[in-house]
Amino acid sequence: MSLDFSYRHLYYFWVVAHEGGMARAAARLGMAVQTVSAQVRELERSLGQSLLKPAGRGLALTEAGQAALRQADQIFALGEQLPAIVRDAVVAPQVRLVVGISDGLPKLVVRRLLEPVMHTPHLRLLCHEDEFARLLADLALHRLDVVLADRPAPPNRNLKVYSHAVGSSALAWYAPPALADEARSGFPQCLARLPVLLPTAHAAVRQRLDLWFERQGIQPMVVGEFEDSALLVTFAAAGMGLFAAPALVHDKLVERYEVQRVADGGGVEEQFFAIATEKKVLHPLVQRLLPARG
């Protein structure tokens, strides 16, 4: 393979672009500013385009520089994975699946969604939880094989990812034993006088719950809001209040947390998506996560 540019020069440009200037990049690389500048100019000469332009006391990317940076991000993200992939290939014949988990997705649901791959021989499963937008960026850079989330990816011309619906679940309302009888006798109006725990607005289902409260004419007595669904259930089980959860995980909720189901969710549903970089998913384990297409 013949290339008209040096990957070393591309790496120097990549550092300069992320550091925002020659001096900071030179400090990071442990090189003289003049040396780094010369290497970047050599890359520009090889590509026939200016990649950087002055901006105040620093540098900014030209349109060509932005395009080069997007490619460099992917190249060096893949390069970062190389040592681990080579090491794993020598140590054991593992099947690797790197999953991003949106922080708005209930933890018990994650286990159910991954069930189709859990018994794969020699599986090495790596799970990373983060905010939805950051996970999509990592997916686009091929740092993740798939993202599991409670919403599809938003339209974005610069972000080539595809959302695949993998299921949904009606919500049900649960209570610790001390509140269960009172909740059953006056549901849903009891939610205005009994303590209620809700997910924060980062979870897609929160908006649906708020609309449901509005339709019922109820102002819930909210005593806690949680980003982490497992933390919400832990506090509810300790007696703090009622909460809504996917009926899909009813058995695990009752068994693990000893809460009681008091009512259905009035038609409110939570939806689940697997988001990948290919419209036709190629990774064999990601394929298993998708429902069979008739």
**143 & 282 share domain:** yes
Q: If we measure between CA atoms, which residue out of 22, 127, 143, 23 comes closest to residue 76? A: 143
Q: Which of 52, 229, 34 is nearest to 129 (CA)?
A: 229
Is there a contact between 221 and 191 (Cβ–Cβ < 8 Å)? yes
Q: Which of 31, 60, 75 is the last residue of a domain?
A: 75
pLDDT of residue 272: 95
Do 41 and 161 belong together in one domain?
no
CA-to-CA distance for 125 and 117, rounded, in angstroms? 9
CB 247 within 8 A of CB 172: yes
- How many structural domains compose the chain? 3
Q: Looking at the domain assignment, is residue 2 inside a domain?
A: no
> Residue 39: is its pLDDT beyond 60?
yes
Burial label, 219 (beta-carbon count in 10 A; 0-12, 13-18, 19+): exposed
Q: What is the DSSP letter of 281?
A: -
pLDDT in the model for residue 236: 96
Indicate the helix (H) or strand (E) that contains 12.
Answer: helix 7-19
Between residues 29 and 194, the one the model is more confident about: 194
Asked which of 75, 106, 129 is the last residue of a domain, the reply is: 75
The pLDDT of residue 60 is: 87
What are the phi and psi torsion angles at 254 (to 5°)? Answer: -65, -40
Exposure b/e, 137-161, CB count within 10 A at least 16 = b: bbbbbebbbbbbbbbebeeeeeeeb
Whether residues 215 and 231 fall in one domain? yes
Q: Confidence class of residue 91 from pLDDT cuts 50, 70 and 90?
A: low
In whole angstroms, what is the distance from residue 135 CA to residue 130 CA?
Answer: 6
Quote the pTM value: 0.68
Q: What is the CATH number of the domain that holds 58?
A: 1.10.10.10
Residue 143 near residue 98, CB atoms below 8 Å: yes
Q: What phi and psi values does residue 31 have, to the nearest 5 degrees? A: -130, 170
- Of 48, 75, 102, which one is at a domain's C-terminal end? 75
Can you tell me the distance from the alpha carbon of 41 to that of 54, in angstroms, rounded to the nearest whole number? 14
pLDDT of residue 281: 66
Q: How far apart are CA 174 and CA 158, in angstroms?
A: 42
123 and 266 part of one domain: no
Q: Is residue 1 part of a domain?
A: no
Q: Does residue 294 lie in a domain region?
A: no
Q: Does 134 share its domain with 279?
A: yes
Radius of gyration of the chain (CA): 25
Looking at residue 89, its pLDDT comes to: 65
Residue 88 has pLDDT above 90, yes or no: no
Residues 235, 280 within the same domain: no
User: pLDDT band at 164, cuts 50/70/90?
Assistant: very high
- CATH number of the domain that residue 204 is part of: 3.40.190.10
| pLDDT band, residue 217 (cuts 50/70/90) | very high
Is 258 in a helix, a strand, or coil?
Answer: coil
How many other C-beta atoms can be found within 10 angstroms of the C-beta atom of residue 241?
A: 23
The amino acid present at 166, given as its one-letter code, is V
- Domain-embedded: residue 131: yes
**Mean pLDDT for the chain overall:** 89
Q: Which of these, 150, 254, 261, lies nearest to 199 by C-alpha position?
A: 150
**190 is in which domain, residue-wise?**
168-270
**Percent share of the chain, pLDDT over 70:** 95
Dist CA 8 CA 12 (whole Å): 6
Report the pLDDT averaged over residues 71-82: 83
User: In this model, does residue 78 exceed pLDDT 50?
Assistant: yes
Instruction: Report, as an integer, the average pLDDT of 243-250.
Output: 95
User: Residue 4 has what pLDDT?
Assistant: 67
Query: Same domain for 277 and 145?
Result: yes
